[in-house]
Amino acid sequence: MLDWLTLLARWAHVVVGMAWIGASFYFIWLDNHLEKASDPQFAGELYAIHGGGFYRAQKYRLAPEKLPATLHWFKWEAYWTWITGFALLVLVYYANAEVFLIDAEVMPLSQGGAIGIGLASLVAGLAVYEGLCRSPLRNSDAGLALAILVFFALVAWALAQLFSGRGAFIHFGAILGTIMAGNVAHIIIPGQRELVRAKQEGREPDAKYALAGKQRSVHNTYFTLPVIFTMISNHHATTFGHAWNWLVLIAMALAGALVRLWFVGRHKGAAPAWTLVAGLLLVGVVIVALVPGPQANLEPVKLEDVKRIVGQRCLNCHAEKPTLPGLAEAPKGVKLDTDERIRGQASHIRETVRARLMPPGNITGLTNEERVLLERWNP
User: What letter represents residue 290's amino acid?
Assistant: L
Distance CA 82, CA 181 (A): 6
Which distant-in-sequence residues (6+ apart) come within 8 Å of 314 by Cβ? 336, 358, 359, 364
Give the orientation angle of helix 273-289 with respect to helix 245-267, to 10 degrees: 160
Distance CA 257, CA 259 (A): 6
* SS3 label, residue 44: strand
Residues lower than pLDDT 50 in the chain:
none
pLDDT of 91: 94
* Cα pseudo-dihedral 301, 304, 310, 311, rounded to 10: -160
pLDDT of 294: 67
CA distances from 323 to 8, 95, 312, 317, 328 (A): 26, 21, 12, 7, 9
pLDDT of 173: 96
pTM: 0.84
Distance CA 135, CA 129 (A): 10
From the list 258, 274, 97, 112, the residue with the least C-alpha distance to 170 is: 97
Q: Which helix (H) or strand (E) holds 274?
A: helix 273-289
Neighbours of 357 (CB within 10 A): 18
What percentage of the chain carries pLDDT values higher than 90?
Answer: 48
53 DSSP assignment: E
pLDDT of 7: 92
Q: Is the dihedral of CA 46, 52, 53, 59 positive or negative?
A: negative
From the list 105, 101, 85, the residue with the least C-alpha distance to 93 is: 101
- Measure the CA angle with vertex 121, ends 211 and 123; round to 5°: 50
